[in-house]
Structures are given as C-alpha cells and as structure tokens.
Structure 1
Amino acid sequence: MSDPLYRKEILRMAADAHGAGRLPSPTVTGTAHNPACGDKVVIDLETDAQGRVVAIAQEAKACVLTQASASILGDRLKGASREDVEDLANALGTMLVANGDPPPAPFDPYSAFRGAVTHRNRHHCVLLPIEAVLDAFDKAANQLE
C-alpha cells in the first residue's frame, strides 16, 4: 500500500490495538457507528470524581483508520476530561478539513492521519472513536442529573 492514507505508522497503530477489549466494570460506555461503511466503536470508560478518564478500553469492528484512531485513544486518553476530548475533536477536524496543525500532545500521534486530508470520505473513520468517547461523556453527564 503506497497510498499515504495507509502509512506504515497507521498500520502499526492499528495492530498495536492499545486498550483493545472491554473493561469489567466501566463507569460508562459510549458507542459510535458509521452507517456509510458499517464501522462500529464501543468505548468503555472509568472516570474519577472530576470526570477525568482513569481507564479506557475500546472495541473497534472497523477499518484500519478507525482501529488506529481507537488505539491512539487507548494509549493516550488517561487523565483526559470531556473538554480535552472536545479540543482533540476540534483540532483533528481542522487538520483534516483545512489541513491545519495536528492535535498537540498527548494526542500528537494523530499527525499520522495527514494523508487522510484529501480523502474526505474517510474523515469520519478517523473521528469515529472520538465520537464514541464523547457519547460516553454525554451518558456520564446524564447519569449525574
């Protein structure tokens, strides 16, 4: 695969599958589905009293781009708040749509997805795991109400 969309770095991240599996007793579970291609992501989170991620597990039945994105979250999401994830989503969206700067640390591995900039139909694949995390945070907020 010589397409920059499938760089070795992305293939490696997908194969690493950080956080793959499910948590035994998550605080909350979020899901996201891409009806265009059938990709589905389930994210289990354990959060602390301040709403920061203490543990994450992810299950991605999806393409390599979605799997790599989920793996980054599995590796880098601990300690993050909802606001941090919203900032990530905004930065990554800007990078993909407007060829902006990649997200800052700890989410800088998303710079590997620069090859997706010209593949608009694949942007949702990269963002899908983040949508699942935001869904989990929404559900956690609803549990508090």
Structure 2
Amino acid sequence: MDRQEAIEFLMDHYDNPRNSGPLEHPDISLTGGNPGCADLITMHARFDKDGKLEAVNWEGEGCTISRAAASYVTEITQGKTAEEIEQMSFEDLIDELGRELVMTRPTCATLALGTLKKGVHEHHMHKLAENAS
C-alpha cells in the first residue's frame, strides 16, 4: 500500500471505528497504555464454546494511530483461536497499517494487539489450569 492509501486506511478506521464500545459478558477486559502518547485502550473479548474469538471490542482514547489500529485489530482477530492471536506478529501489523506512516510510532500502532495478546494469554493459561484440575 502506498503512502496515500495508508493514510486513507488509517483515517477510515479512525473516523469510522469498528467494534468500538463495551462488550456484554466478556471473557477478557484488559487496559493497556502508552504513557509517551497518553494512549489508553481497553480490549474486551469473548470466546465461543470452540475456543474461537466470537466478539472483540475496544474502548479508549489516544492518537489517530492507536485508535485506528485498535479498530483494525478487532477485524483481523475475529474468529481466531487464542493460539492464533498469541502468534500474530507486530511486524505484520505494522506492515498492514502502513509501515512508512506508523514506524515513527510503533508503540501506538501495536498497543491494541499487545493488550489483546496479553489478555488472551492470561485467559488461555487460566483455562488450561482449570482443565488440569
């Protein structure tokens, strides 16, 4: 994607955020922050009985990049398992968002995915411990 396409992509997600707002009965609700930019994003997620992400929403405040990335992350993680989400690459996300634009703010670009991955990991480990007992 060229620079103009990346700008339009980010602005579309910023102006028309996907899956923004609270989520009923989440399995995960975790807040992540980026003090350098005053970003604060809460990721909410719920898994179905097969262990796939059936709903993921976000809430928060922050810069254009962190908010657009949060919106995009909710789209690309739908239907994924905990293992698939944990394996998602920050580098791939940066490429998909438009490396040239977001590389000056990589922490902003990866905040939502990092927060979701941490919450998914904690939830997954809790489920494994429950099943072992």
Q: TM-score surpassing 0.5?
A: yes
Asked if the contact 2:90–2:110 (Cα under 8 Å) also holds between the matched residues in 1, the reply is no
Task: Rate the CA distance shift 1:126–1:117 in 2: closer, same or farther, 3 A.
Answer: closer
> Matched residues in 2 for 1:40 and 1:117: separation?
17
Moved more, 48-57 or 38-47: 48-57
Q: C-alpha displacement at 1:73, in angstroms?
A: 1.8
> Matched residues in 1 for 2:37 and 2:83: separation?
28
Q: Which residue of 2 aligns with 1:92?
A: 92
Q: Which residue of 1 aligns with 2:123?
A: 140
- Identity score, percent: 19
Q: C-alpha displacement at 1:80, in angstroms?
A: 1.1
Indicate the SS of the match to 2:46.
Answer: strand
Q: Which residue of 2 aligns with 1:105?
A: none
Aligned-pair Cα RMSD in Å: 2.2
> Structure 1: where are the runs of 5+ without partners?
97-101, 103-109
The 5 Å alignment of 1:1-145 reads 7-92=7-92, 96=94, 102=95, 110=96, 112-116=97-101, 118-119=103-104, 122-144=105-127, 145=129
Q: After the TM superposition, which parts of structure 1 deviate over 6 Å for at least 4 consecutive aligned residues?
A: none
> Matched residues in 2 for 1:128 and 1:142: separation?
21
Asked if the contact 1:69–1:127 (Cα under 8 Å) also holds between the matched residues in 2, the reply is yes
User: What is the number of equivalent residue pairs in this alignment?
Assistant: 125
> Structure 2: where are the runs of 5+ without partners?
none
> Matched residues in 2 for 1:67 and 1:52: separation?
24
Q: TM-score, normalised by structure 2?
A: 0.80
